[in-house]
Structure 1
Amino acid sequence: MESRGAVIAMVALFVFSIMPIVVSADSDGDGISDATDDCIWSSGTSTVDRTGCPDSDNDGTSDINDPWTTPNPNFETEQILNSNEDYNDVEYSGDGYSLVTGSDDNFVRTWNSSTFVNLRSANMGSDVHAVAYSPDSNYVAAGVDDDTVHIFDANTMTNLYGGISVNVGSNERVYDLEFSPASDLLAVSIARDNTGSGTNGIVAFIDVTTGNFFSSGINPGGEDRFYDTAFSPDGNFIAVGSEGDWYITEISTGNTVEAIATPPDSVNAITWSPDGNYIVMCGAYESNGARVQVHEYDGNSWPIIWEVPTTTSCSSADFSPDGSKFVIGMYWYLGDGATAKIYETDTGLLVDTFSGPRPNNCGQNNNQCGQIDGVSWHPDGSKIVTSHTRNDEGVYFWVADVDEDNDGYNTTDQGDGVVDAFPTDGSQWDDTDGDGFGDNPDPATTPDACIDLFGTSTADRYGCPDRDGDGWSDDGDWAPDDPEQWVDSDGDGYGDEYYYEVVNTFYHVNQRGDAFPDNPTQWNDSDSDGWGDNYANQSWDEFRESTWPGIVVSGATEIDQFPINHYQWLDTDGDWWGDNQIGDDADACPYVYGNSTADRYGCPDTDGDTYSDPTANWGAVSSTGYCQADGLPLDPTQWCDRDGDGFGENQDGNLPDECPDEAGSSIIDRVGCLDTDGDGYSDQGDPFPNDDTQWENRDGDSLECGGDNQSGNNPDVFPDDP
């Protein structure tokens, strides 16, 4: 067996013999230096979005940004090749015309990918664990349970070199075969077999043109167990999945250029994107599930850009031909059992899932779901093939439903240049102006009213210009340059949409639009009571404050007579006190004009002293003895008369009551005090309180001498002589 150094030298010699010598730093040989190449791992011609990346249609935009795989593939079963034997692996040819399978019935078979007819078969005499189809479609390889690899002419199934022994120890098996992009080198992943006792696993190489086996191969990290490999698109490097790590090794030198120690316990599947910038790996079950990881090259290393959990181990993976998506096939247990999942490469968005029949009543917690051991994406992007094991044997062909909405227009271009602009809407398919609204008229979904004119309107009609962006088309927008307004229903010049700022709980400021969209005489409501600021009676100007909002509008309705009082709006009797009894400044006499303000608002005040005239329900004195209404309604200088004697208590007014707490009729010496004999003098100042003919005794002699009034009873003959 050759030494490791000899093997590396032989591989290097082989690789360099077929590689051009590049003087400048152009790793992928596309004529673009690595310094400006956005895809240094893959040659390409793109120039528009990225430089030097794969561009299959030569339009300047790289494939990953100009994909031909449908965005929502909705894969459905196209054909099933049933079998009683496990089908362990599958792969499409580079031209997509055929595919190869390997199964536990010892056969390697090629099939027509369109008719599903078996083209050629070869009996290997032992289980076939791994197969590969060369990118140039000329070769088929099979890894067999007896530690041999066979390379066939794909057209004739002629075994070119017989069984090539890949035995590097004991109890190992071939887990994976991968052809290089140039179809001249075959990588063989070797790890311990199902007994778990093997120790000498490597990644070995076979020269496809000679059948030479380089047995020492590579063993990055001294792992001894390798489950899957993926060549870089330029063929200069190989990604290797192992037990808890994955590596990138330069083939010509055998040097490990990248070692990633963050994957799950075992890297069961690894695949490299067509543009070389992404590597997907998925792994075995850990303590709480498994993981799918996507790494993106950042110019120096391969950090994880996203990761998603799965309930089940992953067993296989493959990129779509444009690199925009990838598919993984799952193991046999728990909810994801026997399921294929498709993700967007750069975002991690799950865009589709599909599975076989999931036998044995497979469910969320059932562990007999079958297993997808092999998965391959067809070069045209519309088909996927999966190989199944563990009670779900067979080969399943899946095709993207390119007309998901069944309207006769395909989701992706099928060669006729026709693409459904609305792949999930059966009522629409064309969008001439590209504005997202279909050309078909109503009752089709969101019909474009301006088919040849890009537009974003949605409110009055779909797809017409809407320069203010309010949803209303310019032709249907009352204010096409005002994004806040679009309709003026009442024609008053104010748009129906009402905007304002609130101050002090109720008051609207910076009002815009129409608070009364169906009333042409009103548009503002400053106090937010539901009644408009405008008024019809110009005579109100005599009473309205000059700062009050609103203008005179002939025939105005829904008028707020008090536009800055949230609690008042109507004044039936016209005295400018509001009728609302539970509001501020309520009119106590809403149907009788009045100008009272002191005791109550809006009631008659005959003498104009601000106190209302008494009424049946509002007397001059309350039941508790306090003044209410005007006790002297004809005297503007008096209003309170608690003792009810007709003399007011205002000491600055007419005839102020000097005995306000005791009713009296005195008027001469004192006003409003007790005058028992009614002679006008208060009892307090009347020496003869019970004689209405006498009230004075000037000389102060005995009252028996009589009073000074000579015309009264018992006059004092000598009124000045005591």
Structure 2
Amino acid sequence: MLTKTLILEDLEDDSQYSSPIQATISPTSGWISGGEEITITGSGFSDLAFSNITDDGINHQWVETTMDYSDQAGRWNAVAVDSNGHIHVVQIKDESYQIRHSVNDGTGWISNGINTCGSTYCWDIHMVIDDNDHIHLAYTTYTSWDETLVYMNYDGTTWTDTVVSNSAHFGPIGIAVDSNHHPHISYALDGSDQCGAGLRISSYDGSSWSYTNVDQGSNRGCESAIVIDESDNIYIAYQDRSSSKLKIATDKSGSWDSYLVDTGTSPSNLYPGYMTSMVMDGQGQFHIAHFDEKEDDLRYSTGAPNSQWTTTIVESSGHTGRDPSIAVDAADEPHIVYHTWSGQNLKYATFDSVTTNWAVTTMASGADVGEGNSIFIDENGVMHVPFNDATSDVLKYATKSTGLVQTQEISVQFGQHGTVTGTVVNDTTIRVTTPSVATGDTVTISILDKDGIQHQLSSTFQFIDQNDLDSDGVLNENDDCPNDAGTSTQDLTGCPDDDDDGYSNAGDAFPNDSSEYFDTDSDGVGDNSDAFPNDANETADMDGDGVGDNRDLYPLNANEWEDLDGNQIPDNSEASKVEFTTSSEDGKIHLYHIFANNLTLTMTATTSEGYTLVALQSTPNIALNTGGLQYGLNGGDTWTMQLDMSALMAHLPEAFVTGGYIDEIEPTVNFSAHVTGMPVGCGSDEAYWDTEQQATCPDKVASHRTDYYVNFSMMLWNGDDDNDGVANSWDLFPTDANESQDSDGDGIGDFSDLCSGTIESETVDANGCSQSQLDADGDGIVDSVDDFPLDSTQWLDSDGDGYGDNWGDSDWNDSRISEWTGVFIAGASQPDYCPDIAGNSTADGYFGCSDADGNGIADLFEQDETNGTDNTNQTEEPVDTDGD
């Protein structure tokens, strides 16, 4: 089958878009494998469609029947088809000159007389059917004293006739109707010359007829044919025998202008333009079939007013080409039927685009046939040809398909997944087959009209992967909710997760709060916000002291939480029952303490009530070893112990003595004293605090603070050269009062280091920053991994085509695939519309998509149609119905 497809022009760099079209799509979803027909329902589709023409590749043959058996039927005839597909033929019978109308509604022919010429002759009838299916026809009559132009009209019910002019030259005329369904008739003004006295047109405006002389002069204006275009411009082909010319006149400029179509070198050399038949194609090109009475051949001229005309000889064998009738098919190719005096046959000619020659065949022969003929090609590509059989005195009818099928089509774009061609069934319906896509997705559908304007539809279409029924990107076999799209990844995979925190709605105690998902203690506060997730009685700790606010007497003081004795003094702020002092004047451990072994620690019990026990520990362990026993003190007692400097000396590295840097031990000795005690008995009971006393003397127990810790430290000290409060051996910068530590070891002190955590062995600048830590554009992505180190709106180019993955147009949000790495950044520069495919498109802000022809427009926004080839290899030439 030969397919001739309209080739659309490339989209302009500045793509055009219209407002969205309200439309419904059915069905609204389908498999990613494609191949499913969907129906788009809306309005106004016919005006958006472009024409596509295909050749069915069948060798069609003429089918001949007899349509009117009345005597001498069809000497002059005309044919047309109305909007219902009914075939109409009007004719003038030979000798009796009866005007007849025949119609075939699909069940057979019905013929009736509609007028007579009386006692005069009638000649050359022409007909046109308007958009209301009203019939308009015209013909001329002749007597020795009068030549008239007659117009007839059928309004669907009644025939009427009007004498338009009594000064019309007897012979061929033309008729056409304008956009208001008003008739216009071309004819020659009556005169003594054989071709009349000039070209005239009579026009009806709905109430009266007007008359205009188009080309005045002798021996001109006859053999006319008329066409009116969609702008109501009139075109008339006619003969000027005075100069042996075929001309065409038009009022397109506002006045009548005539142009040459074909001519001989002298009136006696060539006589073109006899028996003219004309048609205009969809591209504004004119096609004229005419007879040359000098050479007795059939000629074909094509062109347009005020442009180049080309004339070819269709057939020249014998006396041929008389009474030609022409029509063009959906591909604007001409088809001509005509009569030949050589054999009195009816012939048919069409242009063969393969051989670039005219293909001529005999339609009917074996009798005197075809002197009266006409042709019409309907919207289905079927040719209708009535012709007279003068031998049998009947009107015959032949039909044959051109093999061309014209459909109205439109480009349908499925988001970023490409464009396919849909069929415009009518003004409200488009049918299209879905393309195959790689992954499930919900896309916005747009249509691209014949003028390259994109129209977004109001409905979307969902592509469903058979292996991922809910199109959430998780295969069915791994999806805990295969029929419900979801993004959960923690407790379940692929289930609905309204707050996008990774936990499914079913497993999320707080499905609408992305910051919470568990409530272990069921107190109504999520674990992430609950300072005490395992304690239903506590949720907050405003001062961060580890004691819940509900039982913290001092919820805004991190150092206090209780007052056991009720004296309104927080326990930790109340003086300890035990005080600790040392023999070091500044509280530091100096070298001379170590060498002289003369450092002591004194503890004093300040309480006047009860007996106090102290368990003392130190790190390193330099406190007196009591064999695990506690120090016991009554109120006011003091205990002094000598600290073990030999144990400390064994703990210290040699660098402490020499003043070198130390990083293997801390610069302090830490002490922890666990203070407990026993109050005296109640009343005369002198027993110490025991279980019984807890029951008999609760006020003593509640008010006596007997279980707490006292923690203190002594700093190891071997000098401080820069007076920054840090001993030399723990000061990496002992002569710089502003620096003491270098946490990342890059040689730059922490106070001056602008880049903490530098990787070991990396070279840094004066600010302590390595190359891998620099971020020139301040987007939070260091330059070493930033594909766009000077652009704060882009940092990643996944496909390496120079366009960033981030996008700045919020309309793109629905088209982005979750696996893609980019994010929405307002004002993102040169965003990649196709971040997974390296591309070079740049038009209209759609960067980074494939652009095979390099015109800047992404291929996915361009129409891509090719010509098919039929099995008989008839032709591969494109049909260019819009002439571009």
The TM-score bracket by the shorter chain reads 0.3 to 0.5
Tell me which protein shows more strand as a share of its residues.
Answer: 2
